Amino acid sequence: MATEVKVPTLGESVTEASIGELLKNVGDAVAVDEPIVSLETDKVAVEVPSPVAGVITEFKVEVGDTVEVGAVLAVIEEGGAPAAKGEEAGRAAEQREDGKEERAEASAPAASSDASQTLSPAVRRAVLEHGVDPSTIKGTGKDGRLTKEDVIAAAKAKKDGGTIADAAPAQAATPSAPAGERREERVKMTRMRQTIAKRLKGAQDNAALLTTFNDVDMSAVIEARTRYKDLFAKKHDIRLGFMGFFAKAACLALKDVPAVNAYIEGDEIVYHDYVDISVAVSAPNGLVVPVIRDAQDKGFARIEKDIADFGKRAKEGTLTMEDMKGGTFTISNGGVFGSLMSTPIINPPQSAVLGLHRIEDRPVVVDGEIVIRPMMYIALSYDHRLIDGREAVTALKIIKEAIEDPTRMLIDL
């Protein structure tokens, strides 16, 4: 019996998505709940599982197509013999009369010794660009699939004299351009990237953005981490990072300056007696902002576990719409990429975002003497329509003082 696989309900107010990847080919055998299609919505990538066990006989969509909730994605013949590999799979593809087999072949993995390995368009481009053999790379994505970061890391290892195998198969797929020839590539923006672009530009168009800066002596936090990191990891099974300190410091600031934790809705200001912190996380398809809910009530261990879980699931592409819903304040850490200073853009409808940057030793004056301290620039971008300069500076100063004297976070000062 043939079963249709349809686009599932994607979340509140989300009615359509784009086809990001076809995770299987026509003729592949699939098990119940095995992902076959990856959808890209405005915020997350969603994998659509097979509702039955059988063999894929047809795909109704192609990569890049826009589909609505309820649209048919594929057709699966239930109870078929496992024909994902070997001659039976080949015959299944050859029997298609509508040209789907050509598309299936085109989407097959490039330069891989494992026929079941499926490369996303982004990964395939990275393979060809860096000239590595994907069959020699261990994937860190969901179900062991390769990510773009895996390919880049492998290429770097190869360049540095690592043990990556000969990449001739991947290089052969794209002939080298003649010396001096200039090339360009046009790639359609993903739905997520389009949404990011619209939201950030909308923030600049609709809000009166202003940024205030300060610098923070990280000595106390670094000393606390050094002293307690082993005990913390042993007790809580999670690494003690910097984000937990800044999240708790932000909670102190937002409690004392509630406007920074509020937003404008029409002609009203919406205040919150809770702190839901959106944490900017880099994912293969773009920046996502999952939310640490009720951060004001959570300890360091719970916050660090939430952040680690978000980072892992962002890399795997398994964050959900619910993970991104809401948020009253955002923290973005550009320091992990080496940023010295930036003016972050708020995440609408929020009214403020805290930007963290890299830590570096700098000369500062302490008690009349020049000393070397590990310093970090921090930035607070805010909507000046709601937040006055005094409030923004005060909030950032509270964060600075809490980081420089972490005891304040323990006694709520």
65 given a catalytic annotation = no
Which has the minimum average pLDDT: 194-203, 241-250, 254-263, 354-363? 194-203
- The answer to whether residue 409 scores a pLDDT higher than 90 is no
Say which residues have a Cβ less than 8 Å from residue 342's Cβ, sequence separation at least 6. Answer: 334, 355, 357, 379
Q: Are residues 248 and 372 in the same domain?
A: yes
Query: Is 233 within 8 Å of 318 (Cβ atoms)?
Result: no
Q: Are residues 266 and 349 in the same domain?
A: yes
Q: Are residues 1 and 120 in the same domain?
A: no
- The answer to whether residue 391 scores a pLDDT higher than 50 is yes
Q: Are residues 218 and 325 in the same domain?
A: yes
Q: Are residues 153 and 199 in the same domain?
A: no
Q: Which of 237, 388, 405, 412 is catalytic?
A: 388
Q: What is the pLDDT of residue 405?
A: 93
Q: Are residues 355 and 271 in the same domain?
A: yes
The CATH number given to whatever domain includes residue 211 is 3.30.559.10
State pLDDT tens for residues 148-169: 778 888 887 877 665 544 433 4
Q: What is the pLDDT of residue 337?
A: 87
Q: Are residues 232 and 267 in the same domain?
A: yes
Q: Are residues 267 and 370 in the same domain?
A: yes
Q: What is the mean pLDDT of residues 160-189?
A: 60
Q: What is the pLDDT of residue 101?
A: 43
pTM of the model: 0.65
Q: What is the pLDDT of residue 115?
A: 36
Q: Which of 42, 384, 405, 412 is catalytic?
A: 384
Angle formed at CA 142 by CA 70 and CA 355, multiple of 5 degrees? 95
Mean pLDDT, all residues of the chain: 80
- The answer to whether residue 114 scores a pLDDT higher than 50 is no
Domain closes at, from 136, 155, 188: 188
More confident residue, 176 or 115: 176
Q: What is the pLDDT of residue 124?
A: 65
Q: Are residues 125 and 101 in the same domain?
A: no
DSSP state of 393: H
The CATH number given to whatever domain includes residue 73 is 2.40.50.100
Q: Are residues 301 and 239 in the same domain?
A: yes
State pLDDT tens for residues 26-63: 888 888 888 888 887 766 677 888 888 888 888 888 88
* Beta carbons within 10 angstroms of residue 185's beta carbon: 6
Q: Are residues 377 and 401 in the same domain?
A: yes
More confident residue, 174 or 369: 369
Percent of the chain with pLDDT over 90: 38
Question: Which residue range(s) make up the domain with 179?
Answer: 109-188
Q: What is the pLDDT of residue 83?
A: 41
How many H-runs (helices) and E-runs (strands) does the chain carry? 12, 18
Does an H or E element contain 332, and which? strand 329-333
Q: Are residues 257 and 323 in the same domain?
A: yes
Say which residues have a Cβ less than 8 Å from residue 293's Cβ, sequence separation at least 6. Answer: 274, 276, 326
Q: What is the pLDDT of residue 128?
A: 66
- Considering its fold, how many domains does the chain have in total? 3
Domain closes at, from 154, 172, 188: 188
More confident residue, 109 or 332: 332
State pLDDT tens for residues 226-281: 999 899 999 999 999 899 999 999 999 999 999 999 999 999 999 999 999 999 88
Which has the minimum average pLDDT: 118-122, 131-135, 155-159, 345-349? 118-122
388 given a catalytic annotation = yes
Q: What is the pLDDT of residue 143?
A: 64
More confident residue, 221 or 96: 221
Domain closes at, from 58, 79, 105: 105
Q: What is the pLDDT of residue 119?
A: 62
State pLDDT tens for residues 290-318: 999 999 999 999 999 999 999 888 887 78
